[in-house]
Amino acid sequence: MTSYKIALLPGDGIGPEIIAEGRKVIDAASECFGFGVDWVPYDNGAEKYLATGELITEDTLKEIKDSCKAIYLGALGDPRCRPGILEKGILLKTRFYFDQFVNLRPIKLLEGASCPLKGKGPKDIDFTVIRENTEDFYVGIGNRAGIGNSKQELEVVRSMYKVKFGLDIETDGSEIAYQIGVMSRKGAQRVIRYGFELAKKEGVDKAHFVDKANVLSDIYGFWRETVDEVSKEYPQITPEYMFVDAITMWFVKNPEWFKVVITPNMFGDIITDLGAMIQGGLGLAPGGNINPDGVSMFEPIHGSAPKYKGQNVANPLATIWAGAMMMKEIGQEKTHGAIVSAIETIIKEGKVRTKDMGGRNSCSQMGDAVASRVRELAS
Ligand code: IPM
Ligand code: MN
């Protein structure tokens, strides 16, 4: 029997509760579909950080790299820690360490899920956002400089390249702050190609590319130029360019135009929260951080909702769906299909609903419902 080792990182806030339900559903599916999952728990998150100062070490990451097939993550973030500490020190650190250059976010309105857009239904909202996940303004280099002269050295290290900036700053009149966005030719090419490949696989003749080349023309002009270049390999697919401000408008007005949307990192972060809302809310939006040749990580796109911690009221469906995506990525396509269908029938029937869906069921009741539906679908 095939068996997979999967790193399990529950994280903070509602993380442990939602990940327990995701695990429950995958365990149920594994019994039905004849494969094994060996969960390897990691306790990185706020508690560990507050107690020891540790975020996630290179040793831990290496251990995961050497032993696990994928990572299943709950959520990170805790009000007791400075904003960004856990997010940057654990989440982004892991995305970059494993070079998970694709952030795959399906925007699919399941039947029965409530959509805030008047007159739009499941047929209109069904597309995938591919967000670049290792570059752009997320490389984390920037600083402040006080009035006068200063020298600063900044560095970005990736497996494909290393780049150093030596800055001589002279500022007069005010203290300043700056942030450098970095995009590499190879980094852009690989995610753009991933997007074209998905469009090809889905048989669509158009793919949308997001930028802000009218203003931030160095970095996003480079992105556009790279799209043009890669598009020559895919003569059957027409690239359509959209500015990020405009695409937020079209997501609301004409979501049915979109099938595959490829975007640089920061714009992808922003437009996928909007995407989550039109697919029925953050409780229903999953994501995968993918390295097609390495270790990928799956998580709900929502945060740790500290307010609801320990109350068993959070909606675990985004996490369960992310678990389904993980199964697809490791080669268990049937399990993916069964879990997504189970989620869809439960939403459609509307009998089991968590608080955010206007119901009174608990997080674990939702997990139980999906797990038993998966068993029925498999039998
Ligand atoms: C997301 C989150 C993260 C991001 C944060 C928590 C670092 O908002 O996955 O969309 O900005 O990528
Ligand atoms: Mn986000």
Mean pLDDT of all residues belonging to the chain: 97
269 ligand 1 Cβ < 6 A? yes
Q: Does domain 1-111+283-379 match CATH 3.40.718.10?
A: yes
- For ligand 1, the distance from its centroid to the CA atom of residue 265, given in whole angstroms, is 10
The residue nearest atom 12 of ligand 1, judged by CA position, is 269
299 ligand 1 Cβ < 6 A? no
Q: Which amino acid is at 8?
A: L
Model confidence pLDDT, tens digit, residues 247-281: 999 999 999 999 999 999 999 999 999 999 999 99
Given the CA of residue 269, which atom of ligand 1 is nearest to it? 10
- For ligand 1, the distance from its centroid to the CA atom of residue 143, given in whole angstroms, is 21
**Whether residue 174 has pLDDT greater than 90:** yes
pLDDT of amino acid 104: 98
Model confidence pLDDT, tens digit, residues 7-29: 999 999 999 999 999 999 999 99
Given the CA of residue 91, which atom of ligand 1 is nearest to it? 7
Tokens describing residue 359:
């119901």
The residue nearest atom 7 of ligand 1, judged by CA position, is 87
Given the CA of residue 103, which atom of ligand 1 is nearest to it? 9
User: For a substitution probing ligand 1, which of 55, 91, 107 has the most ligand atoms within 8 Å of its CB?
Assistant: 91
pLDDT of amino acid 192: 98
**Average of pLDDT values for 47-56?**
98
Model confidence pLDDT, tens digit, residues 303-355: 999 999 999 999 999 999 999 999 999 999 999 999 999 999 999 999 999 99
pLDDT confidence band for 363 (50 / 70 / 90): very high
Tokens describing residue 298:
């799956």
Share of the chain above pLDDT 90, in %: 99
**Average of pLDDT values for 185-208?**
98
Identical fold between 1-111+283-379 and 115-135+183-279: no
Ligand nearest to the CA of 303: 1
Domain ranges within the chain, ordered by starting residue: 1-111+283-379, 115-135+183-279, 141-179
Supply the pTM of this predicted model: 0.97
Distant-in-sequence, close-in-space partners of 253: CB < 8 Å, separation ≥ 6: none
Residues 325 and 298 sit within 8 Å (Cβ to Cβ) = yes
The residue nearest atom 5 of ligand 1, judged by CA position, is 87
**Whether residue 379 has pLDDT greater than 90:** no
φ, ψ of residue 308 to 5 degrees: the values are -100, 5
Q: Which fold has domain 115-135+183-279?
A: Rossmann fold (3.40.50)
User: For a substitution probing ligand 1, which of 92, 105, 137, 272 has the most ligand atoms within 8 Å of its CB?
Assistant: 92
- For ligand 2, the distance from its centroid to the CA atom of residue 265, given in whole angstroms, is 10
